[in-house]
Amino acid sequence: MSSNDNTKSFPELIKLKRDGDQLSPAEIRTFVQGVTSQTIQKSQIGAMLMAIWQQNMTDEETLALTREMMNSGDTLKWPEEWWVVDKHSTGGVGDKVSLPLAPALAACGCKVPMISGRGLAHTGGTLDKLESIPGFNVSQSIQQVEKILQDVGCCIVGQTESLVPADRVLYAIRDATSTVDSLPLITGSIISKKGAEGLSALVLDVKFGRAALYKDLDSARKLAQSLVTAGNKLGVKTRAVLTRMDAPIGQTVGNAVEVCEALECLKGRGPDDLTELVTILGGHLLDMCSPDFTVESGTKEIALKLKNGEALEKFQAMLEAQGVSAEVARSLCSYETDYFQHMSRAAHQTELKVLDDGAVLDIDGLALAEVLHKLGAGLTKSEDKIDHSVGAEILVKMGQQVQKGESWIRIHHKSQDDLSVHQSVLQKALVIGNIREYKALSRVAEFI
Ligand code: IUR
């Protein structure tokens, strides 16, 4: 691209940002269009990303970036009368919330075209979890998504090639240039994709804590504020719920084991913290969609759909619509079933024992997730394959009194000796102490 009176060259745009000037919406458009059309060199993209990382962006610049990214590909449109909703989580350990939430919302009359991702670093991906179910197909065309929304009300799918192509390019270069952790770049990436889904309302589960992207509440709040501002300005009613991410969510971490726990939640028998997250996040979405709901009544409505089997029915229909045989879907969703009749079970299950008497004060979700990742539950190199059967069942609860010698975790692993090098890290993940030091905390801290 050459300079003329009002069009700056890419090096000039990079220099502007590098030197701390604000980019205009038109200049941001030039940059994003250059990214999408591949008329800007990767080195120039990297330099611009680093300039943004260093100089930050104003709300106005962030909005322009998000809008231009959103418009870099197809954007979805739905019938006016639909309540089209979605949830995004910034990534956790044992985070299977989407699995019960999407069908519970569908049971309340919402349409949920949930576009989910794969595991990132130590965090698991919703698509990887669902692929533990034989036949489940996460690749659905936009026409198929529309049909599933008509017939069932919810689907959980991967991103299509045509949605926000600029993000794919930018994300890969962010990863290669240490610019992932920039507030405007994270905001542009997340909100552009949600904006392109044509949503009426979006709830963001912004996590903070040891096993989260942001370790403390203050920095998570800044991210939440940036996401909420950009979402609302793009015309999507957006709210962020700030939630604690230290110990794993629920009692399982891994792919197949998390599907089992999500199914238990859909049968009204899930662990309290998982059910709390599902109902509260759903409650906020219902509150944003309809004047008939408040957060409180919406939360109760979602809880009802988990208890009365309507969410489970939707999940069963979604499984069938996304390629699972009717027989497997029915069996997984029946109240008395052996889940591992249908999903593969790891060759070995090893239980680790508690080393002291006392109360469970903490379970380090990050340490546990990192070990499971190394055992094959996640990808280290892109050419690796995930082993869906690798995972952990945590057999104790926070605050519970335990005795030395009692089993506290069951690890599902592939070979006789792959676990031994990780045993001491796993044992350190369980913190036992005096019950007086235990403080029960809700997962949900606040919302914006
Ligand atoms: N998820 C996204 O979709 N984009 C990001 O930048 C991050 C997580 I970090």
Q: Which of 174, 156, 143 is nearest to 74 (CA)?
A: 143
| Closest C-alpha among 165, 160, 156, 130 to residue 142 | 160
Mutate to test the pocket of ligand 1, among 190, 194, 226 (most ligand atoms within 8 A of CB): 190
Phi, psi of 20 (to 5 degrees): 90, 10
Give the separation between CA 201 and CA 223, rounded to whole angstroms: 18
pLDDT of residue 382: 62
Atom 7, ligand 1: residue with shortest CA distance: 186
Nearest Cα residue to 156 out of 185, 124, 212, 117: 117
Q: Is the CB of 180 under 6 A from ligand 1?
A: yes
Is the minimum distance from the CB of 189 to ligand 1 under 6 angstroms? yes
Tell me which of 122, 193, 342, 412 is the catalytic residue: 193
Quick check: is 116 catalytic? no
- Return the ligand 1 atom nearest residue 190 CA: 3
Q: Whose CA is nearest to atom 5 of ligand 1?
A: 186
**Which pLDDT belongs to residue 333?**
98
Residue 440 structure tokens? 């029960």
Tell me the pLDDT of the chain (448 aa) as tens digits: 444 456 899 999 999 999 999 999 999 999 999 999 999 999 999 999 999 999 999 999 999 999 999 999 999 999 999 999 999 999 899 999 999 999 999 999 999 999 988 876 777 789 999 999 999 999 999 999 999 999 999 999 998 888 999 998 998 899 889 998 899 999 999 999 999 999 999 999 999 999 998 999 999 999 999 999 999 999 999 999 999 999 999 999 999 999 999 999 999 999 999 999 999 999 999 999 999 999 999 999 999 999 999 999 999 999 999 999 999 999 999 999 999 999 999 999 999 999 999 999 999 999 999 999 999 998 766 667 889 999 999 999 999 999 999 999 999 999 989 999 999 999 999 999 999 999 999 999 999 9
Ligand 1 atom at minimum distance from 188 CA: 6
Given the residues 174, 284, 412, 413, the one annotated as active site: 174
CB 72 less than 6 A from any atom of ligand 1: no
- Ligand 1 centroid from CA 206, angstroms: 12
Rounded to whole angstroms, how far apart are CA atoms 262 and 250? 9
Query: What's the pTM value of the predicted model, to 2 decimals?
Result: 0.93
Kindly tell me the burial class for residue 209, based on how many C-beta atoms sit within 10 Å of its own C-beta (0-12, 13-18, 19 or more): buried
Distance 190 CA to ligand 1 centre (A): 6
* Nearest CA-CA partner of 189 in 175, 203, 200: 175
Active site residue 167: yes
Helix runs in 19-155, H state only: 25-37, 42-55, 59-70, 98-107, 126-130, 142-151
Has 193 been annotated as catalytic? yes
One-letter amino acid at 249 equals I
What is residue 122's predicted lDDT score, i.e. its pLDDT? 75
Helix (H) or strand (E) holding 402: strand 401-402
> What pLDDT sits at residue 17?
98
Catalytic residue, chosen from 8, 87, 88, 239, is 88
Q: How far is the CA of 176 from the centre of ligand 1 (A)?
A: 14
Q: Whose CA is nearest to atom 3 of ligand 1?
A: 190
From ligand 1's centre to the CA of 168, what distance in Å? 10
Residue 189 is a catalytic residue? yes
CB 190 near ligand 1, within 6 Å: yes
Q: Which atom of ligand 1 is nearest to the CA of 186?
A: 6
Q: Is the CB–ligand 1 distance for residue 389 below 6 Å? A: no
Q: Cβ neighbours of residue 290 under 8 Å, at least 6 residues apart?
A: 83
pLDDT computed for residue 1 by the predictor: 47
- The whole-number pLDDT of residue 3 equals 44
